[in-house]
Amino acid sequence: MSRSAMMLIGTLAFAAGCQKFYSEFHVDEAAFAGKGGGGAKATAGTDNGGSAGRGGAAVIGGGGNAGGDGTETCKDGDRRCRGSVLQGCSAEHLYVDERDCLTPALCRTDTGCTNPTCKAGEFHCEGAELQICNGALNGWQASKTCPSVAHCSTTAGECTKLPCTAGDYRCNGAALERCGEEVGWTVEKECATAALCKIDSKSCAEPFCDAGYRECAGAKLLICNADQSGLVLEKECLSQALCDKVTLECDVCAPSTFSCDGADLHRCAADGQTNPLVETCGSANWCDEDAGKCRICDANQYDCTAEGDLEQCSSDGLERVTIEACGSEALCSAANGECLPDGAAGAPP
């Protein structure tokens, strides 16, 4: 074999290997969505539609609509949890991702994502017991027992050798606590959330929004974050019109409107959450979403009945009107839209 032939075979083998290797890679574009720059701003207020909350600007972050596996079908209103990801049913009746709830324990199909009790690696003191946030982020688990309340440190995440210094402040979860001369840590104030407990000002910051507050910003359905310090993306609706400012949900269709899916006529429910079948028309051409009805014939078309009546379809295709009684089906010409004279039966039209 010549040297040039051997080099050609080697080059082809290398190219085939590269193709096999690189074809196994997939770039998940959705994983990078919303991660650039300083974040968009949104204003909480009645102009966008929302439940009772405070005004002002908040960074839109978190959440996403990366989509499900794109193959499993579902019914309107269906929801499921895939690990920590809450999935809903799209207009195409396929499961799509709504929101990452952080852990499977926080994913609920009835109420959506549950707010976490604590953050990974966060410490809490329950008396002299030092606790750490559990893996599910929905509670605390014991880490160790300190000699006294004054020796339990949420900042250090351990039992300190010396008790706290009188007059010192700390945040123990959502509680702003002060170290006393003899009793150790005592609660000064209970803040709305742990994030709103401020050691530097020895106070509780005001919540930006109430727990559960939602509003629409274009096609984005926003919700108050677990810290109550701003708004985050709960779900991306299919369009701005489908972000319902009254129910504060993403609708699957425009409430009470008709639509056609092939020959199937649907009417959206009043709450916009389901799009049930009303009727299956004779053909896709006969499904009239503007009229909200199935047509029964092609507009202006002539037809003959078995009794010999010449009929014409109305211009809207919703009814047949008798034009003339021809006496028999043989004397009725739908092609010409007329009755044939006696004796013309069987004659060419």
Q: What is the mean pLDDT of each run of 10 residues along the chain (349 residues)?
A: 44 40 32 32 40 42 44 84 91 86 93 90 94 95 94 92 92 94 90 94 95 94 94 90 92 92 94 91 94 93 94 93 92 92 61
Helix (H, G, I), strand (E, B) or coil at 29: helix
User: 29 and 43 in contact (C-beta within 8 Å)?
Assistant: no
Burial class (CB in 10 A: 0-12, 13-18, 19+), 303: middle
Q: In angstroms, how far is CA 225 from the centroid of its own chain? A: 16
For residue 279, what pLDDT is reported?
Answer: 94
For residue 35, what pLDDT is reported?
Answer: 31
For residue 345, what pLDDT is reported?
Answer: 54
Distance separating alpha carbons of residues 243 and 217, to the nearest angstrom: 8
For residue 1, what pLDDT is reported?
Answer: 45
User: 123 and 115 in contact (C-beta within 8 Å)?
Assistant: no
In the chain, where the domains are located: 41-112+211-250, 123-204, 258-294, 302-339
User: 173 and 180 in contact (C-beta within 8 Å)?
Assistant: no
Q: What is the pTM of this model?
A: 0.61
Distance separating alpha carbons of residues 215 and 178, to the nearest angstrom: 37
Distance separating alpha carbons of residues 259 and 278, to the nearest angstrom: 10
Asked whether the CA dihedral 167, 201, 138, 54 is positive or negative, the reply is: positive
DSSP assignment of 299-346 equals TT-EEE-TT-EEEEE-TTSS-EEEEEE-SSGGGEETTTTEEPPTT-TT
Cα angle for residues 329, 334, 340 (degrees, 5° grid)? 60
DSSP state of 121: T
Asked whether the CA dihedral 139, 143, 148, 150 is positive or negative, the reply is: negative
Output the CA–CA distances (angstroms, integers) from residue 199 to 166, 205, 226, 308, in the order listed: 15, 10, 20, 93
Q: Where are the alpha helices (DSSP H) in the chain?
A: 3-22
For residue 189, what pLDDT is reported?
Answer: 95
